[in-house]
Amino acid sequence: MFFRVLALFSLTGLAGFSQTQPDATLAAGRELVAALKLDQAADAAMFQQIGSDRAAALLTAVMSRGQQPSATTGEWTQLHRAVGGLIELYVAKGELFRAALFGNLQDLYYRNDEGDYTAALAAARQALDLQQRSGQAATLYICWKNVGEDLIKLGRADEGLEALYQAHRSIDDPAGSTASAIWREIVDGEISRHNLAAAHRECDAFVQQSEAAAAPQLFRGSALLARADLEMEEGHYGNAVDSVKAASEAVTGKEAELFGYEPVYERSEEHTSELQSLRH
C-alpha cells in the first residue's frame, strides 16, 4: 500500500498530468489515508518519505472532498482519517498550534456531520492538550468551549459546566459574541442542573456587564435572552416575553439579521410554556 502511495505521488507531480491533477491528487490522497496507521511514529515516517508538503496537500484534498454537501458516509470516514493524519503531520513538524486547529476541526466535523459527541469530545480534548503544549493561550477558550459543549451533550453537565467556566475565564474578548454565547450556555447549564442560585448569579453579572455603554449590541441581546431563559424556568412568563422583546429591540442594523431569529424562537417557546401552564 505504501509503495502505491509513493507511485501515485510521483504520478501527480508530473507536468503532463496537469489536466487531471485534481482527480489524481484526490486518488493519491485516498491511498495515503487508507495507508495511515493513525500512530504518530509510524505515520511520521511515511510523511517523511513522501515529503511533508505533499502529504499535507494529499490529506487536504481528501478532507476537502469530505466537506462537500454531496459527500457520502464513506467520504466522511476518509475525512476524519485525513484530519487525523494532518494532526499527526503537524505534530511531527513541531507545529502544535496548527495541529490543535485541525483537532478543533475534527471536533466540529464529528458534531455536525454525525452527531457523534463521544468522538467529538476525544477530538476536542486532543485539541486542548495540543494547544496547551503549544504555548498559544490567546484562543484556548475555544478548546475549553468545545470540550464543555460536548460533555453537556453527553449528559455530563457538571464536567461540561466546569469546562465552560474555564472557557469564560480565559476568553480574550470578554464582551465579544463568543463570550456572550459561553455566558448564556453557563446560565442555561446551571438552570438544567437546577442550581438557580448560580444561574441568578451568572445572569445578573451578564446583564450588568451588558448595560455598560461600550457593550456591543449582540452582547446586550444575548444577556437579555439569558434573563428570559431564567424567567421562563421560574414561571415568570410575562417577564420572559418582555425580556425577549427587549433583546430584539437591543440589536439593530446588520447585526439584527444574525440575531433576529433567536428572539422569535424564544418568544414562541415562551408562549407554548405559558399555554401549557394555563392548562394545569
Those residues whose C-beta lies under 8 Å from the C-beta of residue 72, and which sit 6 or more positions away, are none
- Mention every residue, 6+ apart, whose C-beta is less than 8 A from residue 205: none
Q: Which three cell numbers stand for residue 219?
A: 452582547
Q: What pLDDT digit, counting tens, does each position of 147-200 carry?
A: 999 999 999 999 999 999 999 999 989 999 999 999 999 999 999 999 999 999
Which amino acid makes up residue 11?
A: L
User: Which range has the worst mean pLDDT, 8-22, 33-47, 109-123?
Assistant: 8-22
Residue 213 pLDDT class (50, 70, 90 cuts): confident
Could you tell me the pLDDT band of residue 70, with boundaries at 50, 70 and 90? very high
DSSP secondary structure of 237-271: HHHHHHHHHHHHHH--THHHHHHTHHHHHHHHHHH
| Residue 4 predicted with pLDDT over 80 | no
Is pLDDT of 258 > 90?
no
Q: How many CB atoms lie within 10 A of CB 242?
A: 15
Report whether pLDDT(130) > 90.
Answer: yes
Predicted confidence (pLDDT) at residue 202 exceeds the cutoff of 70: yes
- For residue 87, give the amino acid letter: I
* Average pLDDT estimate for 201-209: 97
Q: Which residues contact 132 (CB under 8 A, 6 or more apart)?
A: 140
151 with 159: CB under 8 angstroms?
yes
245 vs 177: CA distance, rounded Å: 20
When pLDDT is cut at 50, 70 and 90, the band that residue 254 belongs to is confident
Which pLDDT value is given to residue 260?
55
Q: Is the pTM here over 0.95, yes or no?
A: no
CB 144 within 8 A of CB 118: no
Band (255; pLDDT cuts 50, 70, 90):
confident
**Residue 252 or residue 204, greater confidence:** 204
Residue 268 has pLDDT above 70, yes or no: no
pLDDT at 274: 44
User: What is the structure's pLDDT at 10?
Assistant: 43
Which cell goes with 61? 484534498
Of all residues in the chain, what percent carry a pLDDT higher than 90? 79
Q: Is 62:79 a contact under the CB 8 Å cutoff?
A: yes
Q: Is the pLDDT of residue 13 over 90?
A: no
pLDDT of 256: 76
- Comparison of pLDDT for 280 and 105, the residue scoring more: 105
Please report, for residues 136, 154, 199, 205, 216, the alpha-carbon distance to residue 187 in angstroms, rounded to integers and kept in the order given.
Answer: 28, 18, 5, 11, 19
